[in-house]
Amino acid sequence: MIGRRRLRAGLLAAVLAGLAGIACGKKGPPLPPLNLLPTPPADFSAVRRDVKVDLTFKIPGANTDRSTPADLTRVEVYALSTEMPVTSDEVVRRGTRVVSVPVNKPKDPDEPEPKTPAPKGPGLDQNETANVSDELPADAGAESHRAYVAVGINKRGRRGALTPRIAVPMVGPPPAPAEPRITYDEKAISVTWPVVSAPGQTPVTYSVYQPGSIAALTATPVRDPLFVDQTIAWDKPRCYEVRAVETIENVRIESAASPAACVTPHDTFPPATPQGLVGVGSEGAISLIWTANNEPDLAGYIVLRAIEPATEFTPVTPAPIPDTNFRDTVPTGSRASYAVQAVDKSGNRSAPSNPIAETAR
């Protein structure tokens, strides 16, 4: 009997040990660390401006397995001057690294928000847009193209997926336009320049810039030598430069910039003359009303009056009034003539309105 009990106890212990082993799992060799690779930089594009190529791309924000954020420390751009068509891989293997953009460490979503925002790192954040440049080598014309590829580098120094390569033709850019001419009115600044004649077969268009900027004021290159800037601001200087543009093999080739032209607009333009002035006489007073002006910089109105026998108009309101009505107290039986002027915030006055005459009862 005792032997049977010992046998049952041993079997129970063996079963429990087996279950424990199954629950804990068998200890094996450590798994290799995940090696995430960033997706290629998006929206990779290039514009050649005279002897410089400006490159734009979006910093990756995900890995090739669709996980986020991207395992990323920097984005590198490689260039290769070549006469033969090349692949993206060949540009990276045989080319030269011309740009390295550091990428800031992304915020840990599990960490609480700090009371004081941390200062931004020295690089760009994931999903930000990068604008970088490559100065063309002196012998760039000896090759037919200069190819570019961008790629993200992860924390282990491994390259992620490559962008498609962009091949920039090394043809000569079109001639630079002459200095533009600037005029303005109360609504906009107009920029014009002489037409450029280029020896190439493609039509020449134009891009307008503020000096030192690579963001064109023209959304797309324009065919006519005219740009109208409606973001006019009085007494603030505004400068413009123009580049001639040819599109060759789907790449924009821009000339050197024209000489910059600047203007500081001053508001010397009076408001429109007020319309619709009418008057009604009452006991010891004359009431006026007129149609409102619609200028955005309107300061108000000046009411002018001449009481017979006087014929010269003089201001009744020493400062502009905002309303489009006015009640003037005059002696009973007086006959008075009135006109109204509009005044803007720069002090410009319109011509007087058509005069009217009324008599106070």
Q: Are residues 46 and 157 in the same domain?
A: yes
| Closest of 302, 313, 305 to residue 331, by C-alpha | 305
Whether 107 and 42 have beta carbons less than 8 Å apart is answered as: no
Mean pLDDT estimate for the chain: 89
* Domain termination site, one of 236, 263, 290: 263
Q: What are phi and psi of 252, to 5 degrees?
A: -80, 125
Region for 123 from its dihedrals, namely left if φ exceeds 0, alpha if ψ lies in -120 to 50, beta otherwise: beta
Our count of domains for the chain comes to: 3
* Domain termination site, one of 240, 263, 286: 263
Q: From the CA atom positions of the chain, what is the Rg in Å?
A: 38
Pair of tokens at residue 235: 């007494």
Q: Are residues 149 and 100 in the same domain?
A: yes
Q: Determine the Cα–Cα distance for residues 355 and 338; give it in Å rounded to an integer.
A: 5
Pair of tokens at residue 169: 């033709």
Greater confidence (119 vs 242) lies with 242
Q: Determine the Cα–Cα distance for residues 255 and 351; give it in Å rounded to an integer.
A: 48
Q: What is the tens place of the pLDDT at every residue in 235-262?
A: 999 999 999 999 999 999 999 999 999 9
Q: Determine the Cα–Cα distance for residues 44 and 132; give it in Å rounded to an integer.
A: 11
Residue 9 maps to a domain: no
Q: What is the tens place of the pLDDT at every residue in 35-52?
A: 799 999 999 999 999 999
Q: Are residues 229 and 310 in the same domain?
A: no
Q: Are residues 239 and 353 in the same domain?
A: no
Q: What is the tens place of the pLDDT at every residue in 249-303?
A: 999 999 999 999 999 999 999 999 999 999 999 999 999 999 999 999 999 999 9
Question: Which residues, including other chains, have CB under 8 Å from residue 258's CB and lie 6 or more apart?
Answer: 176, 177, 178, 179, 180, 193, 241, 242, 243
**Per-residue pLDDT at 76 exceeds 60:** yes
Q: What are phi and psi of 329, to 5 degrees?
A: -85, 125
Q: Helix (H, G, I), strand (E, B), or coil: what is residue 91?
A: helix
- What percent of the chain is predicted at pLDDT more than 70? 88
Q: Determine the Cα–Cα distance for residues 125 and 56; give it in Å rounded to an integer.
A: 15
Q: Determine the Cα–Cα distance for residues 329 and 310; give it in Å rounded to an integer.
A: 17
Q: Are residues 71 and 139 in the same domain?
A: yes
The pLDDT of 84-108, averaged and rounded, is 94
Whether 300 and 320 have beta carbons less than 8 Å apart is answered as: yes
**Per-residue pLDDT at 120 exceeds 60:** yes
pLDDT score, position 27: 58
Q: Are residues 56 and 165 in the same domain?
A: yes
Residue 5 maps to a domain: no
Q: Are residues 186 and 133 in the same domain?
A: no
Whether 92 and 162 have beta carbons less than 8 Å apart is answered as: yes
> Alpha carbon 142 to chain centroid distance?
36
**Per-residue pLDDT at 198 exceeds 80:** no
pLDDT score, position 3: 44
Pair of tokens at residue 302: 């000046």
The pLDDT of 63-80, averaged and rounded, is 96
Q: Are residues 97 and 192 in the same domain?
A: no
Residue 26 maps to a domain: no
Residue 80 maps to a domain: yes
**Per-residue pLDDT at 25 exceeds 70:** no
Q: Are residues 319 and 227 in the same domain?
A: no
Greater confidence (84 vs 79) lies with 79
Q: Are residues 90 and 154 in the same domain?
A: yes
The H helix count followed by the E strand count for the chain is: 2, 22
Q: What is the tens place of the pLDDT at every residue in 302-331?
A: 999 999 999 999 999 989 999 999 999 999
Pair of tokens at residue 144: 């037919």
Residue 113 maps to a domain: no
pLDDT score, position 118: 67
Q: What angle do CA 56, 61, 62 make, to 5 degrees?
A: 125
Q: What is the tens place of the pLDDT at every residue in 218-236?
A: 999 999 999 999 999 999 9
Q: Can the peptide bond before residue 309 be classed as cis, meaning omega within 30 degrees of 0?
A: yes
Which residue do the tokens 């064109």 mark?
Answer: 216
Whether 300 and 325 have beta carbons less than 8 Å apart is answered as: no
CATH code of the domain containing 59: 2.60.40.10
pLDDT score, position 272: 97
Q: Are residues 319 and 243 in the same domain?
A: no
> Alpha carbon 242 to chain centroid distance?
18
Residue 1 maps to a domain: no
Residue 20 maps to a domain: no
CB atoms within 10 A of CB 20: 9
Which residue range forms the structural domain that includes residue 210? Answer: 181-263
Burial of 152 (0-12, 13-18, 19+ CB in 10 A): buried
Alpha helices in 144-279 (DSSP H): none
Q: Are residues 62 and 162 in the same domain?
A: yes
AA letter at 218: T
**What confidence category does residue 28 fall into, taking pLDDT thresholds of 50, 70 and 90?**
low
Residue 236 maps to a domain: yes
**What confidence category does residue 19 fall into, taking pLDDT thresholds of 50, 70 and 90?**
very low
* Domain termination site, one of 263, 286, 302: 263
| Closest of 159, 160, 252 to residue 205, by C-alpha | 252
